Structure formats: C-alpha cells, structure tokens
Structure 1
Amino acid sequence: MTFNARLARRKPQVGAAGRDRWVVAAIAILFMPAAVLAESRTPLPQPRPAIGPASDGSDSKHAVAPVTSLAPPAPSACRLALTDAVAIAPSIPAITGPGACGGADLVRLEAVVLPDRTRVPVKPAATLRCTMASAIADWVRADIAPLAERLGSRFSELDNFDSFECRGRNRVAGAKLSEHGHANALDVRSVRMSNGRTITLTDRNVPRELREKLLNSVCARFTTVLGPGSDGYHEDHIHLDLAERRNGYRICQWKIDDPMPEVAPLLPPERPAEASLRETAEEKNEKHKLQEGASERAAAASGAVSQASGDPPQLPAAVPIPQKRPFSGTRSGKVAEDKKPSSSASMPSTRLSAARSAKRKHKPRLDLPPFLRPLFN
C-alpha cells in the first residue's frame, strides 16, 4: 500500500483497524522524502536580494550590481558664468504650468555684485531665467554703477516692481501670455543711491539728460523696452525683457517727457515790468469826457472872442437832413398809364385818382346771386 500526504490528512476511523492505519500513516509521514513534502506546500516568494556592492570574484555568479540614482542635469553655460562674483542668484527648480507658464534654468536674483565686491540688493528678489538675470546684472555693473558715481554717490538698491507672474499681457483677461509668465521680464520702477536719493525712471523732474542715458543703456541691452507713451500701461515703470522675434526685431518705446511748466500754457504770459500801463475802461471814459469838456470850453472861448470883436458868433455847420423822395405815381411796383412829365403841381394826385378809377371800372364782376350783388357794387 502506498502512503502519501492525502492519505495522511484523512480523518482516522474508529476502532482497532482505524488505529492501526493511523499509526502506519504517521510512520510513513516521518520517513517521507522532503521533495514530496515540498510539492504539497504553497510556494513562497523569493527573498529580496541585498542591496550593496558586489562581492569579490569568489562569488561573481550571485553578486548584486549597485543601484545608481538619477544624476542632475548639467548646468548651462549661463549658470556657469553667473557666479557669486557677478550676482547672488541661486538656482531654483523649473516651473511648469499652468498653461505655458514657467520655464527651466531659473534663478532667484537676490543681489548684484559690483566689481568692488559691493552687493546691490534686488528688492524683492526676482524669479528670472538665468539669461535675463545675467542681463540685469551686466546692466547694473556696467551702466548704473558708473552713472551713480558720476552723480557723486553709489548705487545701493534696485526696485523690483514685478518679475515672474503667470498672467496675460498687461493683466488683460484672454490676452497673449506675457514674458513675465516665462520668467523672462523685469519691471523696474526706481533705483536708490547710498546718499538716500531715489531716482524714479519715469519722473519728469529727473534731469532729462540722466533719463536719456538710462534709455540708451536699456535699449542697447534688452529686446523690449516699454515705458511712458508706449501703451498706457507703463506710465509709472519701465518693462524690460529678452523676447526673441524674427530677424532680431527690437522694441524701444519710452518717451522722455519734459518737466511740467510752472505756469499753465493756456494762461497768458505775465506782462513785462517795463511795458506801459494798460488803460481801464473807466480811465478811457474819463479821458474822453475830459476831451469833450476841453473842446466845449474852446468853442465857448472862440464865441466870446467873436462877440467882443463885434462879429456874429459862428455856429457849427448844420448836418444836412435827408429829404423825402417825392411820390412818383407808382404803387406796388406798377407804373401809372401816363408816364409823361407834367409841369402841373397836382399831377401826382390826379394820376393817382385816374389810376384808381380805372381799376374800379375794369374790376371784374363776379357771378354772384342777386341778393349779394349790392354788397360788392
């Protein structure tokens, strides 16, 4: 009789014969080969191999290769050039979305280091692409710092009005994505000096020559410059970016306005002190009355002289009075029948009576009822 694990798992029968079978089955299980027992069990997963360096050549078959982590990307040429000797700009992770916002190779521009190792902080720190941060650092080091020295001071702070922001142009809903959304733009409102002076780039009171120098410097370094007079959205700051366009097209729109005049141009200019005094209406009337009084006194004096000499006083020449035009015998543009001249004085009235009688005689009679005819005869 062949014994196996299936027979061994059967329930033992009651009685002597059943006990004997149970004893025999137990003995068979004790002496059953290990291979048979292994086939009857549920297979278990293989143990996880140990992670570590490979062993020496004695057990190369079971050696485990080391696990290597993903290496960070190699730094860009801009990142290698933007060292701590140029700017304090640590790298930050790339920004992705929403939409097309964000970018790679980003830095946080905290300060610009001048050639004399002086740090000019950017407040607040600007999130920019490395190329844009490098252009800002070069502009500050090569243009702004020497300009501040010529003004008798030192450049101490750069005012960051806006840097990275995921939005449309001019914050208009639905507009094309701004370069601020690509971390490729910076808005500058003012720069500060160590003597406490703040130069606002769009202030009319800043000397025109200084603002023109700033205009020439930014337009030579950046592909887009927008300021007062560009589109109405940049009247209080200057927008700078490095947008790439076809054929290297650049935009530089910054109108340098003159200072506001102290006197409004619509008002008349002040009268010079050396000019003659103006006569008022009252003074003119008074002067005219004096002249009339003088003429009257002169006329009275001349009359008194003529009376003293015995000659009659000379009266002023009378103004001729226009005469009425004599009646020509016409009425309402109609000429009387007899137009021949007459020497009689009553000719006009006679001709008028004759015309009236002729008009009455030749008046057409109306076809009226008999009871109405007396009214029109």
Structure 2
Amino acid sequence: MVSAAAAALALSWLMAGSPAAARSRDAGPPHAHAGPDHAARRDHAMTTIPLPQPRPATAPARAGTKADAPADSAKGEQDAHEPGKGPSETSREAKTPAPPQPSACRVALTEEIAVAPSIPPIKGPGACGGDDLVRLEAVVLPDKRRVTLTPAATMRCTMAAAVANWVRSDLAPLAARLGSPIAALDNYDSYQCRGRNNVAGAQMSEHGRANALDVRGFKLADGRMIELTDRTQPRDLRETVLHSVCTHFATVLGPDSDWYHEDHIHLDLAERRSNYRICQWDVLDPLPKVAPLMPAVRPDDAPPRETAETEETGKGGKAPARTGSTGTAEAEKHKAEPAPGDAAEADETEPVAPAPTPPPVHSKGGKKKHKSRS
C-alpha cells in the first residue's frame, strides 16, 4: 500500500509541475522561480521511492553466467599489467608442449649402474643419428667401483645398458681372477656417421645409428692392459671373453672375420630377422718366437724324387763328368782317354764329328750399328 501511494504522489507531482514549466518557459529554468515549497515536495518524493534490495550472497547463480569469470578476467588484467609480459607471451606459454617422458631404458639405467647422462637426439645427416641417446662415461660395479670408458662413448640407451651389464656380470669377475680389479675399458670407436668398414657409399654402419662399440681391451687397476686381439694373451682368457660378448650382443666381429677387425672387437645390437646373431672371432694361437731359417730335413722314409734322364746319359746309365772352363789338365786327360774296360766298345763306335769352327771375330770398326726401336 505504501509503495502504491508513493507512486500516485509522484505522478501527481509530475502532472502539476508540467503546466508550471510551460508557463515559465520564456522566463528561464523552472527551478529558478520555484519556491521553497516546491523543493521540499521534490526531496520528499525522492526519499519515499523504495530502492531494490541487494542480492543475498547465498542466492544461486543466475543461468548463463560463470562463477569464475571475474577471477579469470582479473587474472588476465593482472598478467596484462605485468612489466615485460604481454598477452601474446602468456598464450605462447600456455601452448608450450610438455617435455617427453623418459623411456623405460632411461628409467632403469640409474646412477647405481652407470654414469650415463642423457644427450639430445641426433638427426642426420641422412639416416645417421637416433633418439634416446646417452654419453656413457663409466660403469658402476656392485662394490661401487667405477670402470671408466676412455674416451666416453655416445650411444643409444639400450646399447649402453648392454655394455654395463657385460662389464658388471662378466668382465669384473674375470679381472678378479687375474688378481686385480678392472679399472677402464678401451673405447676404440662409438658413434660415427659413416658406412660399414668406413667405406664411402657402403651400407649404413651400426656406428652411424649410435648402436655399436669397438673395444680393444680393458685395463686393470695394477696397470696391466689386456688386449683382446693380442696373441700373447692366454688363449683361455680370450675364449672366455669371446663366449661372453657373443651372449650379450647381436653382432661380434674380430680377427679373421674380415680385414677391418684385426686389432679390435666390434660389438652392436643390430636387429635382424628371427633374432639372427653373428659371432665371428677367431682366437688365434701365438706366432713362433724364432722363424725357421732353413727348410726342414727330408725324412728318411720319404719316397725318392723322380728325375728326368738327360741326353748326355750314356748306355751304361752314367753321365760323363763335367768340368768348367777352369778345369785342370788331369781332368782333360781323363776325358780324352777311354777307360780300359770300354776299349772294345769305343772301337765299334763311329768316329766323332769334328767340333764346328767358331765364327770369325770382327774388329770393332767392322761392327754394324742397329737403330734402337725402344
């Protein structure tokens, strides 16, 4: 009721004020000539009009609005007002992809097994390179000793894990039987973008895929160097290493495999059909200390050598004696006089034809010169 009365009062006041305003249009603004009663009635009408009540905090949100819109807009305004950071940079940070998750090999190859920090992937040139690469610096033994790779090798994580397992499970016990722990592994070659056997244009080598390691030997803590292709090393030692590497790796190439692996051992994890493996390493015996200077003596029971008969052999099967140009007079005498037993036989033979006369010797001036055609 009160609000209806207030509305009616306001309407009557407006209707009453319109003629007065029309009458005083030429005289100026109406408030300039209005009296105090008119101002009081206007103030009373303004105070009596009710205003809407504020919305309670517990009221449900209106449909079509987001409760977090003010917070988001406030955050956007705050980021826009930060010095050196604009809206474009904020959106760029939101679009940055998350870093890739580590592989299962990377998770398993912990610092308790090897010192092998991850390195960025290598892409090219060509088919060279690979992903999930590490730099294998040392292998950590179960007793916390470190076997350093000299120099550090760049390879895939799976290849590094295979090398670490080989050193920990096989080489370390073998070195202990030699009387000194293993200290270092001689790295001859690891990652290198090249063809097989370092031949230009050949098929891609596993070294170019960061999936291979060439080893010359290992060093013991007492300073001894065990070279795997050295023939002077004990044969059983080298055969033990041979069986060991052929168990851990898919490809093993050593001496007598080809002309390129006579002074080192090639190891890799190449994937082949049906899990086919290659193990080619001939453990060679030591060379003789002193090479023989003379041929061996012919055995007594060897069959006699066959010799061809010459035209100079006589009927009796005996060849006449030969003398050089410096023979003695006695040798010439025996040659001219026949033996007593052969006198009758000599009479029945035909006379010997005289020796041919040697050609005349021309003097120096009489020689003819021939033109050379060379």
Smaller-chain TM-score bracket: 0.5 to 0.7
Amino acid at match of 2:68: G
Taking the aligned partners of 1:56 and 1:87, their CA distance within structure 2 comes to 53
Q: State yes or no: 1:57 paired with 2:84.
A: no
Partner of 1:166: 193
Cα deviation per residue 1:298-335 (whole Å; 9 max; x = unaligned)?
xxxxxxxxxxxxxxxxxxxx7474255599xxxxxxxx
Taking the aligned partners of 1:178 and 1:320, their CA distance within structure 2 comes to 84
Give TM-score scaled by structure 2 length: 0.57
**Corresponding residue SS for 2:245:** helix
Change (3 A) 1:256 1:70: same
Q: How many residues align?
A: 226
Match of 2:104 among 57, 61, 77: 77
Taking the aligned partners of 1:56 and 1:169, their CA distance within structure 2 comes to 67
Taking the aligned partners of 1:215 and 1:198, their CA distance within structure 2 comes to 17
Shift of 1:255: 1.0
**Corresponding residue SS for 1:217:** helix
Identical-residue share of aligned pairs (%): 62
Q: State yes or no: 1:190 paired with 2:198.
A: no
**Corresponding residue SS for 2:344:** coil
**Corresponding residue SS for 1:108:** strand
Partner of 2:269: 242
Larger-Rg structure: 1
Cα deviation per residue 1:86-110 (whole Å; 9 max; x = unaligned)?
0000111100000000000000000
Which deviates further from its counterpart, 130-139 or 254-263? 254-263
Partner of 1:206: 233
**Corresponding residue SS for 2:200:** coil
Give TM-score scaled by structure 1 length: 0.56
**Corresponding residue SS for 1:239:** strand
Taking the aligned partners of 1:102 and 1:237, their CA distance within structure 2 comes to 23
Partner of 1:285: none
Change (3 A) 1:204 1:60: same
C-alpha RMSD over aligned residues: 2.4
**Corresponding residue SS for 2:266:** strand
Unaligned runs of 5+ in 2: 1-65, 77-89, 298-339, 351-374
Taking the aligned partners of 1:204 and 1:61, their CA distance within structure 2 comes to 77
Unaligned runs of 5+ in 1: 1-54, 271-317, 328-377
Match of 1:138 among 165, 181, 191: 165
Match of 2:139 among 85, 93, 112: 112
Taking the aligned partners of 2:72 and 2:136, their CA distance within structure 1 comes to 53
Partner of 1:362: none
Cα deviation per residue 1:239-280 (whole Å; 9 max; x = unaligned)?
10000111111111111111011232564469xxxxxxxxxx
Q: State yes or no: 1:253 paired with 2:264.
A: no
Taking the aligned partners of 2:147 and 2:276, their CA distance within structure 1 comes to 31
Amino acid at match of 2:244: S
Change (3 A) 1:61 1:223: closer
